[in-house]
Structures are given as structure tokens and as C-alpha cells.
Structure 1
Amino acid sequence: MTAGARTWLVTGSSAGLGRAIVTELLARGETVAATARNPDALSDLRPSPPSLLWTAQLDVTDPERIRQVVDDAVDALGHIDVVVSNAGYGLFGAAEEATRDQVERQIQTNLTGPIHLAQAVLPHLRARGHGRIIQISSIAGQGAAPGMAVYCATKRGVEGFFESLAAEVKSFGIGVTIVEPGSVRTSFFDRGKEVTAALPAYAGTPVAALRDRVEDGRVSCRGDLAKMAGAIVDAATRPTAPLRLALGSDAYRLIRHGLTARLAELEEQKHIALSTDTSYA
């Protein structure tokens, strides 16, 4: 993407990584359309000039509202160059424990919300012949963990969708980056989390151990929020968009271990894979 001031749209801006990204952008003199379920949480941000910040209420589970906010942001600011799809939350607990409503809400927020956002912004980016979509995923998009099955499902889905999207829109001059942060102290483990009702059958299992750490606030977080926000903004302004961006030493370690293990398992099964071809292939 060319140098110079850009206009950004950031969802989930009230706290955590979204808030840190908005703060970083304003410090760099960029124009930001910041959305949140409660935009009043952004009232203490007072950029100079004030025109650098435009805010709107947005719940990403509402597809019609997504389109309206995107169109309103373009009308107010003239255009959008970079979209940071950050809104999301964590659901902790065993897959069996999650209620139907919890599953649906997690999927609507973490997976279908980003899909609808991409659909809403793409016509505007295509019309300009350039742009970036930054989708916040997680190390859970590359490696699963007990006690986070539904959350991991949404992040795996996000990665598949945006990897495919990247290939679809490259010819339009639009880059796509999937960000995979490791652990970082945000509201994700505090007010931003949801925990399932525990079933006695899972007592003493890894699910229960994770639940205890999350509920007690004993989750170890290595990442520096401001540094991650800076790295995301830097990546979005590179001439070529990286498809994936891992942030944090734990993300690097866990993703590398997972990919290495999967590759080793694939090689062990090579003879089976080849043996199932048709004889005339």
C-alpha cells in the first residue's frame, strides 16, 4: 500500500487489541472509523484534529447494521483504505457443555460477523482499486486446545474464509492479512469472556483446569498489547500484504510445533494417500 495518511475502519474498538490499534493509529495521524457495541467507551480519545476519529455503534451479529455503518463511514470520511476486523470474544468450556445459544452467538460474532463485514467493504475497496483487510484470528486458528472447541471452530473458519478471500481479491489490488496473536492481557480473559456451565463429568480434566485458570484470572499472557498493535499497523502499510502474521513468542512456538507435527503425520500417511488413487489416474 502506498505511503501517506489512510482511513481505517476498526471493529471491536472499545477495549483490548481494537482499542490499542485505534490509539496507535491516532498517534500516527491516521483517520479512524472506530466501531463498538458501546462507542461511549471511546469518548476519552480526543485526537487533534477531532476529525481524525469517527465513531459508530455496531454489533457485528447484525448484518444489516454492518452494511449501514460501512456506508455511513464512507459517506462521512470519503473512503476506507484499511479494514481491521477485530470484534470477537472467547467461549470457554467443553464442547458438550455449550448451549445452543452460546454456540450460535459465538459463531455469529467471531465467524459470520467478519464474513458480512468483508462483503460490506469489498465494493468500496474494489471501486478504489486498492485496500487492505486485516482479520484478527488467534493461535487457535492454527492449533486447538481443550476447553475452547467452539472458539477454535470459529477461528479455523475465519482462517479458511480469509485465505480463500485473499486469492479472490488479489487481482483487484486488495490485500488480506490474517493476524494470529498469542496470549495478551486484554478483556478477552475478563469481561469479554463467556464460560459454559460445568458438567461434573469433566471435573479433573484439562477442560476443568482451563476453566479454573480463566475464572481465577491465572492465565499467563506474554504479549505486549501496544507492541502487537504497532506490528499490525506496520504490516498493513507494507507494499505487499503478508497472508498471515503471528504475534508473540508463544504464537510462534505453538504454531510452528503444530505445523511440524502435522507435516510429520502427513508424511507417515503418504503411502495411504497415494494408494487410494484410481489405477488410471
Structure 2
Amino acid sequence: MTQRWLVTGCSSGLGRALVERLAAEGEQVVATARRPEALVDLVERHPDTVRAAELDVRDPAQCRAAVELAVGAFGGIDLLVNNAAYGQFGTVEEVSDTELADQFDTNVFGPWRLTRAVLPLWRAQRSGHALFVSSVAGMVPFPGLAAYNASKYALEGAAESLAAEAAHLGVKVTILQPGGFATSYSSKLRLPEVRIDDYTPVSGGMLGALRGMNANPEINSPELFAEVVWRLSRLESPPLRLPVGADSEPYLEAAYDARRSEYDDVIKAGHHTVA
């Protein structure tokens, strides 16, 4: 059965690969980007099933317009993929209020406002599937990625809340947790205006690893992400969380194990209560 999609962040990387795959499958897609000219070739190759829209998720009017386009072109939306995001580098002390606010405006507030704009459609049709592209950084703290980590933790919290609030309305929620992928994430990583030398021993190696990430011959391809999302969309009961890419699994398993161990230690020590 053909489904109707709204996908953000489609000019390159994961979003672009996903729209390419969906279009090849004959799905109806509104592909969005801050620079819609990057999507012209997709529309030209699939004029009956792909529409392009300018969308900066920080702009409420553009969010509403993208939803209205999907309704006008295809009669509604079945799946929303909140993919648009970027990475802000820097430790807690280095990242300014403005840099932190900008990170959250794109990575958290944008998906929130767009999902809020789609939910009335899903309440009316009693169905819908919201996909939130998080990261292993939504569960694993990386030194030097404090703002990005915080935004992905927050995104996952919002997605989990939505899952609890809207399941009775037929709304499904999936949090995607990709590992490293061959995208422009590392090249577009924003550095903080203020750098503090004292943090270089813990954050310097992380910055170098991120900058060199795409040179890894085993890095995941965006086409893998597209394949995983396509298969996910065909499931009757999709999972709430889904690791994407083989490298994501060891990071997430270690995070789960560490939290369980820490919790057990605290409980055994009795620090959680007063005798």
C-alpha cells in the first residue's frame, strides 16, 4: 500500500537517501530542505509522487506550509521523519547560551513544532507514524558534544512522551539511533566561539575522530539508513527504539550495562533512602 511521507533535512545525507529510496518504491513524499533547489532533480524524476518544500524547522510558518502542501498534494501524511539536525561541538563551559539555544531550536524545538502541526491530521484519521532521528549520542555521552548530546536526550524524551500520549489514537513512534554514517555531519560540525585549553585532553580526540569519520572505510552508508527506515515503515508494530548501523549496537549496549550497574550499586549501597 502506498504511504504518504513528510521528510525533513533532505538536501543530502540520510534524508536525501531516504527520499531516493521512497521515490523508487512509488511512495508519495514531501521532501523538505532549507535550500529546495537541491531537490529539483528528485521532483523532475518523480513528478507524480515527490514534492519539494522549503523548510527551516525553526520557522513555524514554514512548518505549517509543509504540512499543508502534503495535504494538498497527497491528501495527508502517514509518516513524518524528523531528520533535520546539526552538531554543535564544545564542552558545557565552552558552549554559549546562543549556541545552546540554536542547537535546541533545530534539533528539539523544530521536530516538536512540526510534529505538533501533523498531530491534528493523525487524530482525525486515527493513524500515523512519527520517526525521530536521534543518535547513539541520545544515550551515550561523548566529551565535547555536550549540547548535541543534550539535544538528542531531549528529543528522545519528547518522543517517548508522545508514544505514551498518542498510542490510543493510533499514533506510532520510533526513535532511530544511528551510529556513524557517511554524511556531511562532521564537516558541518559547528565549533564554539570560545575554546578552553583545559578541556583539550578530553575533547580534542573526539573532535579529531569526528573530523576523520568519513575516512573510515567501514562507515555506514546513507543507503543503509534508507533501507532500515523503509523496512520499518512496513511493520505493523514498529519498535519504540531502533539502533541503525552495526556500530551503534556496542555503544548502546555499553550504555545500558553501565546504567544498570550504576543503579544496582546505588540501590545496594542504600544511597537512595534515609535509614
TM-score, normalisation: structure 2: 0.93
What is the deviation of 1:205? Answer: 1.1
What is the deviation of 1:109? Answer: 0.1
Tell me the number of residue pairs that the alignment of Structure 1 and Structure 2 aligns: 274
Query: What residue number does 2:135 align with?
Result: 138
Is the CA contact (8 Å cut-off) linking 2:181 and 2:214 kept in structure 1? no
Note the 1:229-268 alignment, pairs <5 A.
Answer: 229-268=226-265
Is the CA contact (8 Å cut-off) linking 2:5 and 2:77 kept in structure 1? yes
Which aligned segments of 4 or more residues in structure 1 are displaced greater than 3 angstroms?
46-49, 212-221, 271-275
Instruction: Tell me if 1:187 matches 2:179.
Output: no
Deviates more, 1:90-99 or 1:197-206: 197-206
Identity of aligned residues (%): 36
Q: Could you tell me how far apart the structure 2 residues matched to 1:217 and 1:134 are?
A: 25
Query: What residue number does 1:67 align with?
Result: 64
What is the SS of the residue equivalent to 1:205? helix
Query: What residue number does 2:120 align with?
Result: 123
Query: What residue number does 1:23 align with?
Result: 20
Note the 1:1-281 alignment, pairs <5 A.
Answer: 4-46=1-43, 49-190=46-187, 192-197=188-193, 199-202=195-198, 204-215=200-211, 220=216, 222-272=219-269, 276=273
Unaligned runs of 5+ in 2: none
Q: Could you tell me how far apart the structure 1 residues matched to 2:5 and 2:251 are?
A: 31
What is the deviation of 1:98? Answer: 1.7
Computed over aligned residues only, the root mean square deviation of the Cα atoms, in angstroms, reads 2.0
What is the deviation of 1:132? Answer: 0.5
What is the SS of the residue equivalent to 1:160? helix
Q: Could you tell me how far apart the structure 2 residues matched to 1:175 and 1:58 are?
A: 24
Is the CA contact (8 Å cut-off) linking 1:97 and 1:196 kept in structure 2? yes
What is the deviation of 1:272? Answer: 4.8
Amino acid at match of 1:261: A
CA gap of 1:269–1:24, structure 2 versus 1, over 3 A, is same
Deviates more, 1:66-75 or 1:28-37: 66-75
Amino acid at match of 1:79: G
Deviates more, 1:203-212 or 1:125-134: 203-212
Is the CA contact (8 Å cut-off) linking 2:95 and 2:194 kept in structure 1? no
Q: Could you tell me how far apart the structure 1 residues matched to 2:200 and 2:36 are?
A: 41
Q: Could you tell me how far apart the structure 2 residues matched to 1:17 and 1:100 are?
A: 29
Q: Could you tell me how far apart the structure 2 residues matched to 1:86 and 1:25 are?
A: 15
What is the SS of the residue equivalent to 1:97? coil
TM-score, normalisation: structure 1: 0.91
What is the deviation of 1:128? Answer: 1.0
